[in-house]
Amino acid sequence: MYTVPMQIGELAKRTAVTVDTIRFYEKRQLLPEATRSTGGFRLYTTGDIEQLHFIRQMHELGFSLREIRELIELRTRKIAACEPVRELLKHKIEDVRTKLRELQKLESELMADLQKCNKELKRRQRHAASACPVLEQVTAK
């Protein structure tokens, strides 16, 4: 299937990616360097659209640009990529689990601070106002 090459603005529109992001991906070698028209304009194909969709999907899954580059290389070479991809996925899952533990710890700390605020507000209804215990605690750290 032959497609008419498109300029960077059209590629950006079709993929909902900014022109600057497309140039950034080219510099980072996530997208192949575009061919140029006789006038010097970058020209892209439907293959570039697919590549940008792949990059965005992998980015949304939390893969770094380095990891995405590895995945693109594996995808491009069409080699038996299951083992390296499996290893990348295992590392990504462990990263996600670590982040979840950190977020759960943060949630616990925030809940404890919220309880301090609630207690202080109840106490203020009965007594004179004092400083917020959460802000006092943060200042003391």
Dump pLDDT digits (tens) for 48-71. Answer: 999 999 999 999 998 999 999 988
Statement: the pTM of the whole predicted model exceeds 0.85: no
- What is residue 36's three-state secondary structure? strand
From residue 79, alpha-carbon distances to 3, 74, 122 in Å are 27, 7, 65
Terminal alpha carbon distance of the chain: 65
pLDDT tier for residue 1 given thresholds of 50, 70 and 90: very low
Give me the pLDDT at residue 55, please.
96
Region 2-22 average pLDDT: 89
Dump pLDDT digits (tens) for 85-130. Answer: 888 899 999 999 999 999 999 999 999 999 988 888 887 776 666 6
Dump pLDDT digits (tens) for 25-49. Answer: 999 999 988 889 888 899 999 999 9
CA distance 88 to 96: 12
**50-56, long-range: CB within 8 Å, 24+ apart, which pairs?**
52/11, 52/15, 52/17, 52/22, 52/25, 53/15, 55/25, 55/30, 55/31, 56/15, 56/17
Give me the pLDDT at residue 56, please.
93
The two tokens of residue 136 are: 């006092």
Instruction: Indicate the pairing of strand 42-43 with strand 35-36.
Output: antiparallel
- Taking residue 30's Cβ as centre, other Cβ atoms within 10 Å add up to 22
